[in-house]
A and B are shown apart, each in its own frame.
Chain A
Amino acid sequence: MNSLYASFRLGFLLCLLCASAASTAASKPNPDADRLNASLAALDADPALGELAAVERLKARQSVNAFITAKSKARELALFLANRRVETAQIAAQAELLANQAEQLDRERDQIMLQASQRDAEMARREADQLRLQNMARQEEAERMSLAMEEERIAREQSDSNAQLSSAQATQARKLADARAREVELAQKEAELASILASDNVSDGDALPPMQRRGSGSVYTLAGNSFASGSATLTASGISSLNKLAALLRAGQGNIRIEGFTDSQGPDAANLALSQKRANAVMIALRAGGVPAVRMKAGGKGEAQPVADNGSAAGRARNRRVEIIVN
């Protein structure tokens, strides 16, 4: 029992000795620990790095503490580890600071890209506005040109219309001038004919058959005494009168219808035949006087269409006639 007690006492003394040695080592000045603690304190105090690399700084602090409490045999290793941990903490803090700066730069890049996008959008909007204005200007120009072309077309049509009107007026004026010239010519011819008639009247003393207007035409009436009684033979005065009439009708262009009439004396058939023969005789005389045969047509009417009373001699004389109708 005594020996067991002595053993425990020996062990206790050994432990006490170890603790004493440890406390003695801890209380000794340690420049490496001071240097390491100063480095960590500087790192903590750095405004840029103080909050960074917390895990690495904790590991470094633990390593420094381990170094401080390390036994002499393990001090070299503990110092190595503490040095590397402190160095690692400093570098990790700097790396984290740079990583934060890189993130900040990424945010700046995003901001710049946003500004660029906004600027592009603004430029696109301005360009769109400009294009819209240009388009409007083009449309207005097109409308203006369209209006100008329409006005030009209307003016051209007006001009054409005026030209046509002028042409029509000119044509009309030309026709009027032609008509007047023809009128003058006819007047001259009439004067010439009058001169001829005047000269003829002087030669045989007979005149034109009497003329009267009927509608648009003229009717010359050759009296019944121009024929021998009951015959279709023209007397000298009748021939003379028809010559004068032929001279007048030669210049004309109208159609000539020759109709013979008798009084009511005698049979109708005989009167019809006689009136036909007298009309034919007049047509032959006029053709002999130079009137184209194609313009003339002769026909007998007999005792139809009397112009006077057949009961008297004067009336029957008037009914015996040949009418030369000129249209």
Chain B
Amino acid sequence: MTLSTLKIHTVFLFLLVSTTVWAVEPPVTELSAAQTAIVQAERLSPRGTAAQSLEAARSQLASAQALSEKRKYRDAADRARRATVMAELAKAQAELANARLSVDEKSARNADLRRQLLINTER
């Protein structure tokens, strides 16, 4: 390998590395998606495990935002993705809890209605 060839290889590698490193932009989309997922989960007023999941999502989002401010965009994007899935998990858990509560209430209500109907019919 001649000197000129070595120079060419060096330049090529420099371009490759610089493209890889400097081409990463702030993870705006990931952060926005995480923020949206958290807001949607918060609307369901999660409790119990859902609240824990939501808190974890908030923590991940905060960490992602901090990393993004430090220009560690790749790590920030990863944390934002974690926050998104945690928020979606919290939302699903909250929906499950609410649905379970709703089913219990409606089952009890229907049983009461059936009992009243039976009583009134016998009367």
Residues of chain A at the chain B interface (Cβ within 8 Å): 2-4, 6-7, 10-11, 56, 77, 80-81, 84-85, 87-88, 91-92, 94-96, 98-99, 101-102, 105-106, 108-109, 112-113, 115-116, 119
Residue B17, interface by CB 8 Å: no
Nearest opposing residue in chain A for B2, CB measure:
A3
Question: Which one of B4, B103, B114, B120 has the highest number of Cβ atoms from chain A below 10 Å of its Cβ?
Answer: B103
B109, A101: Cβ atoms under 8 Å?
A: no
A105, B117: Cβ atoms under 8 Å?
A: no
| Residue interface bits B70-88, CB-to-A below 8 A is 1, else 0 | 0000000010011001101
A88, B117: Cβ atoms under 8 Å?
A: no
A85, B117: Cβ atoms under 8 Å?
A: no
B86 to chain A, nearest CB (A): 6
A112, B110: Cβ atoms under 8 Å?
A: yes
Chain A residues with CB under 8 Å of B120's CB are 116, 119
Kindly identify which residue among A3, A88, A105, A112 contacts B92, using a CB–CB cutoff of 8 Å.
A88
Nearest opposing residue in chain B for A11, CB measure:
B12
- Bound form: Cα–Cα A80–B83 in Å: 11
Kindly identify, within residues 85 to 101 of chain B, every residue whose CB is under 8 Å from any CB belonging to chain A: 85-86, 88-89, 92-93, 95-96, 98-100
B119 to chain A, nearest CB (A): 11
When A56-B92, A98-B99, A101-B103 are in contact, do A116 and B82 touch as well, CB less than 8 Å?
Answer: no
B14 to chain A, nearest CB (A): 13
B8, A7: Cβ atoms under 8 Å?
A: yes
- Bound form: Cα–Cα A151–B89 in Å: 92
A95, B99: Cβ atoms under 8 Å?
A: yes
Nearest opposing residue in chain B for A109, CB measure:
B110
Nearest opposing residue in chain B for A116, CB measure:
B117
Residues of chain B at the chain A interface (Cβ within 8 Å): 1-2, 4-5, 8-9, 12, 78, 81-82, 85-86, 88-89, 92-93, 95-96, 98-100, 102-103, 106-107, 109-110, 113-114, 116-117, 120-121
- Bound form: Cα–Cα A205–B85 in Å: 171
Nearest opposing residue in chain B for A105, CB measure:
B106
B96, A112: Cβ atoms under 8 Å?
A: no
B113, A98: Cβ atoms under 8 Å?
A: no
B114 to chain A, nearest CB (A): 6
B117, A84: Cβ atoms under 8 Å?
A: no
B96, A94: Cβ atoms under 8 Å?
A: yes
B85, A88: Cβ atoms under 8 Å?
A: yes
B82, A112: Cβ atoms under 8 Å?
A: no
A95 to chain B, nearest CB (A): 4
When A91-B96, A116-B120, A119-B120 are in contact, do A105 and B103 touch as well, CB less than 8 Å?
Answer: yes
When A10-B9, A116-B120 are in contact, do A109 and B95 touch as well, CB less than 8 Å?
Answer: no
- Bound form: Cα–Cα A98–B97 in Å: 9
B88, A112: Cβ atoms under 8 Å?
A: no
A126 to chain B, nearest CB (A): 12
Chain B residues with CB under 8 Å of A105's CB are 103, 106-107, 109-110
Chain A residues with CB under 8 Å of B98's CB are 95
A81, B114: Cβ atoms under 8 Å?
A: no
B121 to chain A, nearest CB (A): 6
A109, B5: Cβ atoms under 8 Å?
A: no
When A112-B117, A119-B121 are in contact, do A102 and B89 touch as well, CB less than 8 Å?
Answer: no
B106, A102: Cβ atoms under 8 Å?
A: yes
7 closest Cβ pairs, A-B complex: A98-B99, A105-B106, A3-B5, A84-B85, A95-B96, A95-B95, A91-B92
- Bound form: Cα–Cα A105–B111 in Å: 10
- Bound form: Cα–Cα A95–B101 in Å: 11
B102 to chain A, nearest CB (A): 5
A72 to chain B, nearest CB (A): 15
6 of the cross-chain contacts (CB-CB < 8 Å) are A4-B8, A11-B12, A81-B85, A88-B89, A106-B106, A109-B113
Question: Which one of B81, B92, B107 has the highest number of Cβ atoms from chain A below 10 Å of its Cβ?
Answer: B92
